[in-house]
Amino acid sequence: MPTTALLWLRRDLRLGDNPALRAAVAQSERLIPVYIHAPEEEAQWQHGAASRWWLHQSLSALDQGLRQRGSGLLIRRGESLAVLRQLIVETGATALHWNRCYEPAVIARDSAIKQALRAEGIRCSSHNAALLSEPWELKTGAGEPYRVFTPYWRRLRAELLKRDDLTDQSAAPDALQPLPTPLEQLPLEALDLRPQIPWDQGLQANWQPGEAGARAELERFLNGPIEPYHEARDWPFERGTSRLSPHLHFGEISPRQILAAIRDRGIAAEVAEPFERELGWREFSYQLLYHFPHTPSEPLNPRFADFPWRSGDTEPLLRAWQRGRTGIPIVDAGMRELWHSGWMHNRVRMIVASLLTKNLRLPWQAGARWFWDTLVDADLANNTQGWQWSAGCGADAAPYFRIFNPVLQGERFDTKGLYVRRWCPELARLPDRFIHQPWQAPASLLAQCGVRLGRDYPAPIVDLKESRAEALAAYDQVKGSS
């Protein structure tokens, strides 16, 4: 009887450069790829609506890729350990392979499964498919996890330069054994990942989930935008970033594959470094999440646990921010882009986060939760680190007193107002001088451009100057505490 291995797929939804798949194929005669839908095991960080949409598309693409190789994706739903045990009984599998995830609840779940199944005689092997360096591998000279990015990146980059595996991409297997029959197969539609109300047209128009889509996005980026990336990454009106973040989160492409492609193209180190640094920031975020698992809900800097956030009825302010109705054009443009496409330009993410946490003085956790539900690239490590950076309470954080002025940010990075005009078309006729601060325009000009503040476009919900002073006063209350 052929030896059989289960390949438990989670956020490694690709066939190329998949260490668990590679090991399972090498060590067993028959492979059974399985996806188990168990969102409750993610604790409070189950996939948001946009991520569920992406997951559906990605699982469909993966199943198609497996079918092209003679196999297929077995879908089950239920408590993971119970489902795996049942599959072991049904298939006679003697081995289980998976690629590691690093969210605290998933680490605990996977550790318990490995211990239980090994006690029952099953060979369980976990692999690294998501990161260039495991979170526990790089330490400071004092043996502590890094809390500042620049020395971390310097160390990681030095390590990467020593490695010889970044040009040896592992191809997907040409053929796989068919799934044994009969095996119960849950249809993908039964997972109810797609929205009941069809709000996802913008996502469909902007994204191609799956391994092929990830490769196409990488090729687009390497064929042009990587050259001016060090500047163009700050311009929200251009497609100047890689847009690989959702593909990385779902494991449709690995950071190793990305670096290998850069090396294979012969792209100069000084050109590639600004982009590779962003991959390093992702690694840094995973290191922080691993060593400080409380940070998705609590500040890394304990002084901010008692920060005096705005009191009273804050729901109208939060809702205006969520819906892109703050009256601050660059902020509203970003929030509307997010709602429509499931994504937001990184420069604008920092601007909208600064307005929420500094000017509106609403908790960063509220912003992180909204991003979690609306971003197709919602990733616990990156989302947590980004919001704590913006709020000034995390590792390597922007100082709390560094408060982005959204008007100046818009004038600097969207000089002609192209981004604002796209997402806030009611302001499209305003001249460049006032596109980022319509409240400063003369009433006659507003009327000429068809803009009635408070009706066609909201008046600002907060005074930027006064709210900045209030935020600094609030910071004074915590900066001296221990």
Mean pLDDT, range 271-279, rounded to an integer? 96
Does residue 399 surpass a pLDDT of 80? no
387 carries an active-site annotation: yes
Residues 104 and 233 placed together within one structural domain of the fold: no
- Does 200 map to a domain? no
Say which residue, 466 or 165, is predicted with more confidence: 466
Residues 310 and 262 placed together within one structural domain of the fold: no
- Which of 134, 206, 227, 281 is an active site residue? 281
Residues 118 and 258 placed together within one structural domain of the fold: no
281 carries an active-site annotation: yes
- Which of 235, 339, 364, 389 is an active site residue? 364
pLDDT bracket for residue 1 (50, 70, 90): low
Domain, as residue range, for 346? 302-479
What's 462's domain CATH number?
1.10.579.10
Does residue 119 surpass a pLDDT of 60? yes
136 carries an active-site annotation: no
What's 144's domain CATH number?
1.25.40.80
Q: What is the pTM of this model?
A: 0.96
Query: In the prediction, which pLDDT does 2 show?
Result: 78
- Does 55 map to a domain? yes
Residues 102 and 150 placed together within one structural domain of the fold: no
Choose the final residue of a domain: 80, 102, 129.
129
pLDDT bracket for residue 481 (50, 70, 90): low
364 carries an active-site annotation: yes
Q: What percent of the chain has pLDDT over 90?
A: 91
Query: In the prediction, which pLDDT does 480 show?
Result: 65
pLDDT bracket for residue 167 (50, 70, 90): low
pLDDT bracket for residue 331 (50, 70, 90): very high
Contact 39, 46 (CB under 8 A): yes
423 carries an active-site annotation: no
Mean pLDDT, range 125-153, rounded to an integer? 96
Q: Which residues are CB-contacts of 205 (< 8 A; sequence separation ≥ 6)? A: 341
Mean pLDDT, range 83-106, rounded to an integer? 97
What's 60's domain CATH number?
3.40.50.620
Residues 266 and 328 placed together within one structural domain of the fold: no
Residues 344 and 414 placed together within one structural domain of the fold: yes
Tell me the binding residues for FAD. 229, 241-245, 275, 377-379
Residues 14 and 100 placed together within one structural domain of the fold: yes
- Does 152 map to a domain? yes
Choose the final residue of a domain: 75, 109, 129.
129
Q: How many domains does the chain have?
A: 3
Which of 87-96, 308-317, 396-405 shows the lowest per-residue confidence on average (mean pLDDT)?
A: 396-405
Residues 26 and 156 placed together within one structural domain of the fold: no
Query: In the prediction, which pLDDT does 100 show?
Result: 98
Which tokens in the block code for residue 362? Answer: 């609403």
Residues 391 and 459 placed together within one structural domain of the fold: yes
- Does 431 map to a domain? yes
Gap between the Cα atoms of 257 and 102, Å rounded: 20
- Which of 134, 346, 411, 439 is an active site residue? 346
Would you call 209 exposed, middle or buried from its count of C-beta atoms within 10 A (0-12, 13-18, 19+)? buried
Which tokens in the block code for residue 241? Answer: 């970033």
Does residue 397 surpass a pLDDT of 70? no
Residues 84 and 228 placed together within one structural domain of the fold: no
Separation of CA 55 from chain center:
13
- Which of 278, 411, 426, 470 is an active site residue? 278
Query: In the prediction, which pLDDT does 395 show?
Result: 86
Residues 255 and 312 placed together within one structural domain of the fold: no
Query: In the prediction, which pLDDT does 196 show?
Result: 87
Which tokens in the block code for residue 58? Answer: 């990605």
- Which of 41, 309, 405, 470 is an active site residue? 309
Cα dihedral: 437, 441, 447, 448 (round 10):
-100
Residues 464 and 475 placed together within one structural domain of the fold: yes
- Does 15 map to a domain? yes
- Does 144 map to a domain? yes
Choose the final residue of a domain: 129, 159, 189.
129
Query: In the prediction, which pLDDT does 181 show?
Result: 85
346 carries an active-site annotation: yes
